[in-house]
C-alpha cells in the first residue's frame, strides 16, 4: 500500500504582537514566523482496513481522534471518493505544549501528505482553508516559508529576505496553557504602533525586532523563562525571546560552535535544549 514518511518542523516567533481582541474570542495578531529544523517524523500509510488510526505514544499527546493529525486526515478523507484506511505514526521530537507549534505542524504535514496519497490534488489555498479550521498556525506550516502572519495567523505574506541562523531552543518544561496566557493578557496596543520591516539582511536585523507581547503574562508567573533568556544572552546569543505562548525560549546565533556549546550547557542544567538551523 502507498506510504509516505515526512518531517514536520517546529516554528519560532521572531515577533508576536497582539493587536486586538475580536468579538469571536480570538485575537488579531501580527507575527513573524520562522521554521526550524527540529522536526517530528510522520509516517502515513494507506491501508485496506477502513478507518483512521493515529499512534503517537508520547505522554500528553492523545492517540486516535483526540490527536490533531487524526482530525486533519478525517477532513481530507471526507473530500475523497475512495475511502481507504489511513494509518499515521508520529514520532514526537518537538516538545509538547511548548509554543513551538508541534501539533499544528503535524496537522499541516498530514494534510499535505494525505492530499498526495489520495491523489486529491487540492491546491495550497484550499489546504490552508481546511487547516485554519484545525488550528491557527496550521496554514503557516502549509505555506512553508518564513512569513508575516496576520489575522489569527492565517493571512500570510512571504518574507523573502531573511538570514539563515543557528537557533538554540530551551524548554523549561513548566505547564503553560495558551488559553490562560490570553485570558491574562493586558492589551496595551503599543506594539501595533510600531512598524516592522519586511527585509532582514542579517541576524542583527532580526534581533532588532524580537518582541513577544505574551512574555508580559508568562515571565512574571514563571521567572525561569526570564532567567533562561538572560543565560542565553550571557552565553553569546545575539538575541533571545520566548516563542508563542511559551514556555520555550529561543536564541539566535550566527556561529554553529557557540550554538552547539550553549545547547549542551543548557541540557546540563536539566532542560530540553537543541541547537538547530532555520529552514
Ligand atoms: P502552539 O505553538 O500552536 O500554541 P504548542 O506548541 O504550544 O502549540 P502543541 O505541542 O501543538 O502546543 O500541543 C498542544 C496540545 O495539543 C497538547 O496539549 C496535546 O495534548 C494536543 N495535541 C493533539 N495532537 C497533538 C500532536 N500531534 N502533537 C502535539 N500535541 C498534540
pLDDT in tens, 92-112: 999 999 999 999 999 999 999
- Other beta carbons within 10 angstroms of residue 187's beta carbon come to 13
Does 270 belong to an annotated binding site?
Answer: no
Give distance in angstroms: CA of 147 to centre of ligand 1.
21
**Cell 537543541 -> residue:** 274
What is the residue-wise DSSP string for 20-84?
Answer: EE-TTS-EEEEEEEEEEEEEEEEEEEEESS-SEEEE---TTS-SGGGSHHHHHHHHHHTT-SS--
* Cα 110 to the center of its chain, rounded Å: 15
Give distance in angstroms: CA of 107 to centre of ligand 1.
10
- Cβ atoms of 11 and 250 closer than 8 Å: no
Residue of the CA atom closest to atom 26 of ligand 1: 103
Among residues 40, 87, 137, 213, the one annotated as catalytic is: 137
Question: pLDDT band at residue 188, thresholds of 50, 70 and 90?
Answer: confident
3-state class (DSSP) for residue 199: coil
C-alpha cell, 184: 491574562
- Pairing outcome for strands 3-21 and 211-212: parallel
Averaged pLDDT, 217-226:
97
- Ligand 1 site residues, Cβ closer than 6 angstroms: 60-62, 67-69, 90, 96-104, 106, 137, 178, 244-245
ipTM of the prediction greater than 0.85, yes or no: yes
Q: Name beta bridge partners: 8.
A: 40
- Cβ atoms of 73 and 52 closer than 8 Å: yes
Kindly tell me if the per-residue pLDDT of 182 is higher than 80: yes
Residues 55-85: pLDDT tens digits? 998 999 999 999 999 999 999 999 999 999 9
Give distance in angstroms: CA of 276 to centre of ligand 1.
20
Q: Which of 32, 31, 279 is nearest to 166 (CA)?
A: 279
Residues 19-61: pLDDT tens digits? 999 999 899 999 999 999 999 999 999 999 999 999 998 999 9
Residue of the CA atom closest to atom 29 of ligand 1: 103
- Which class does domain 3-158 fall in? alpha beta
C-alpha cell, 209: 525586532
What is the residue-wise DSSP string for 145-188?
Answer: S-EEEEETTTEEEE-------EEEEEE------HHHHHHT----
**Cell 489575522 -> residue:** 151
Does 102 belong to an annotated binding site?
Answer: yes
Residues 153-179: pLDDT tens digits? 999 999 999 999 999 999 999 989 999
- Cβ atoms of 127 and 121 closer than 8 Å: no
Mean pLDDT, the chain, integer: 96
Map out the domains of the chain as residue ranges.
3-158, 166-277
Residue % of the chain over a pLDDT of 70? 100
Distance separating alpha carbons of residues 173 and 180, to the nearest angstrom: 16
Does 80 belong to an annotated binding site?
Answer: no
Q: Is 3 part of the annotated catalytic residue set?
A: no
- Cβ atoms of 148 and 198 closer than 8 Å: yes
Q: Is 2 part of the annotated catalytic residue set?
A: no
Ligand 1 probe mutation, 53, 97, 172, most atoms within 8 A of CB: 97
- Other beta carbons within 10 angstroms of residue 55's beta carbon come to 13
Quote the pLDDT of residue 175. Answer: 85
- CATH, range 166-277: 3.30.70.890
Amino acid at each position: 500500500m502507498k506510504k509516505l514518511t515526512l518531517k514536520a518542523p517546529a516554528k519560532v516567533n521572531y515577533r508576536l504582537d497582539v493587536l486586538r481582541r475580536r468579538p469571536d474570542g480570538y485575537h488579531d495578531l501580527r507575527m513573524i514566523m520562522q521554521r526550524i529544523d527540529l522536526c517530528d517524523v510522520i509516517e502515513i500509510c494507506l491501508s485496506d482496513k477502513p478507518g483512521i488510526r493515529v499512534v503517537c505514544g508520547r505522554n500528553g499527546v492523545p492517540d486516535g481522534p483526540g490527536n490533531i493529525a487524526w482530525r486533519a486526515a478525517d477532513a481530507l478523507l471526507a473530500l475523497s471518493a475512495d475511502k481507504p484506511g489511513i494509518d499515521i505514526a508520529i514520532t514526537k521530537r518537538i516538545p509538547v505544549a511548548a509554543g513551538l507549534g508541534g501539533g499544528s505542524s503535524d496537522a499541516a504535514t498530514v494534510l499535505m501528505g494525505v492530499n498526495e496519497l489520495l491523489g486529491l490534488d487540492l491546491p495550497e489555498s484550499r489546504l490552508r482553508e481546511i487547516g485554519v479550521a484545525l488550528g491557527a498556525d496550521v496554514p503557516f506550516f502549509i505555506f512553508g516559508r518564513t512569513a508575516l502572519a496576520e489575522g489569527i495567523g492565517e493571512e500570510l505574506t512571504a518574507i523573502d529576505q531573511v538570514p539563515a541562523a543557528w537557533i538554540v531552543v530551551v524548554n523549561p518544561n513548566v505547564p503553560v496553557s495558551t488559553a490562560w496566557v490570553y485570558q491574562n493578557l493586558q492589551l496595551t496596543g503599543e506594539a501595533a504602533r510600531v512598524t516592522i520591516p519586511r527585509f532582514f539582511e542579517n541576524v542583527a536585523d532580526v534581533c532588532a525586532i524580537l518582541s513577544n507581547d505574551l512574555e508580559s503574562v508568562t515571565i512574571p508567573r514563571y521567572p525561569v523563562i526570564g532567567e533562561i533568556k538572560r543565560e542565553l544572552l550571557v552565553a553569546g546569543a545575539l538575541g533571545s525571546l520566548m516563542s508563542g505562548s511559551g514556555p520555550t525560549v529561543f536564541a539566535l546565533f550566527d556561529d554553529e560552535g557557540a550554538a552547539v556549546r550553549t545547547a549542551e550547557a543548557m541540557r546540563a542544567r536539566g532542560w530540553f535544549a537543541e541547537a538547530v538551523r532555520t529552514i
